[in-house]
Amino acid sequence: MAEGPADTVFEDCRYLTGSPQRFAVLSQLRERPARPTDLCDSVDATRTTIQRILAGFSERQWVVKRDGEYRLTVTGQRVFDRYRALVDEVERARAAGPLAAHLGSIAGELPADLLDPACLTTTSEQNPLAAINRFTDWMHEVEGDVRAISPIVTSVFNDAAVELLETGTHIEFIIDHSVLERSVSDFSDALERGLEHENINTYVHDTALDIGLALDRSRVCLAAYDDRNNVRAIAESDATAVYCWAETVFDQYKERSQPLAAVLPVQENNP
């Protein structure tokens, strides 16, 4: 069976992605025309390999040879630019994987800025506490009032909240019923504070939470948790579009929540 256009295009794509040296040659030629000997100096490949790559590019009309130098054609430039964009996106996807895999229902509306590797802190085998430590640092750097959503309760977060309240910071805090149950059993002081302190308003969401979110005056911190409620990654941003998105998310969760005082009596009466 003869190859169709789609097969040919697929083979061209497979050719380009078949070795890093091919992309490296395209990258060098994107900067300036070059002779094979010049490419040997800048690309980790033998002269034979360089010649073979240039022959493959010439066959596809991505490069032409003029006056002994190879240069990209306009289509070669476009192929390079699109492939560079793909490589960049794959790099972003790899970096953001621990965040993206644990975002739950909000993943489809996530602002692209929060997938920027520069915004991310992720856990690893070498540093399993990297994300939770950075989230704690973020809380210590808060400016202005705080709105937060959390699917877990820990002494670290409770201590950070105490520090904020002592400075006069107002906190709006959304938890779920599992957090409430653990607070009743293990963090009664923090629960009482959530009920009685004038600067904190705590709400209980009607279903289990699957993200962490915090906003202060101008910043956003999004936390992604695994099935065991370990923080796997956080993303931080002060971009206006991200902040507006986070405000909308918080308001949506708050609409489906009840004040702690309205829920706690029912919770305490359950066997």
Could you give the percent of the chain with pLDDT greater than 70?
Answer: 95
Residue ranges of the chain that CATH labels 3.30.870.10:
103-262
pLDDT of residue 101: 86
pLDDT of residue 2: 45
- The whole-number average pLDDT for the span 201-219 is 94
Nearest to 131 by CA among 242, 219, 235, 246: 235
User: CATH says 5-83 is which class?
Assistant: mainly alpha
Vertex 108: Cα angle to 104 and 113 (nearest 5): 105
Give dist(CA 69, CA 168) in Å, integer. Answer: 69
Confidence of residue 6 (pLDDT cuts 50, 70, 90): low
Of the listed ranges 46-60, 94-108, 162-176, 234-248, the least confidently predicted one is 94-108
**pTM of the full predicted structure?**
0.77
Instruction: Classify domain 103-262 by CATH number.
Output: 3.30.870.10
Residue ranges of the chain that CATH labels 1.10.10.10:
5-83
Give dist(CA 148, CA 250) in Å, integer. Answer: 8
Each residue's pLDDT tens digit, 16-56: 999 999 999 999 999 999 999 999 999 999 999 999 999 99
Each residue's pLDDT tens digit, 69-112: 999 999 999 999 999 999 999 998 888 888 888 887 788 889 98
- The whole-number average pLDDT for the span 211-217 is 94
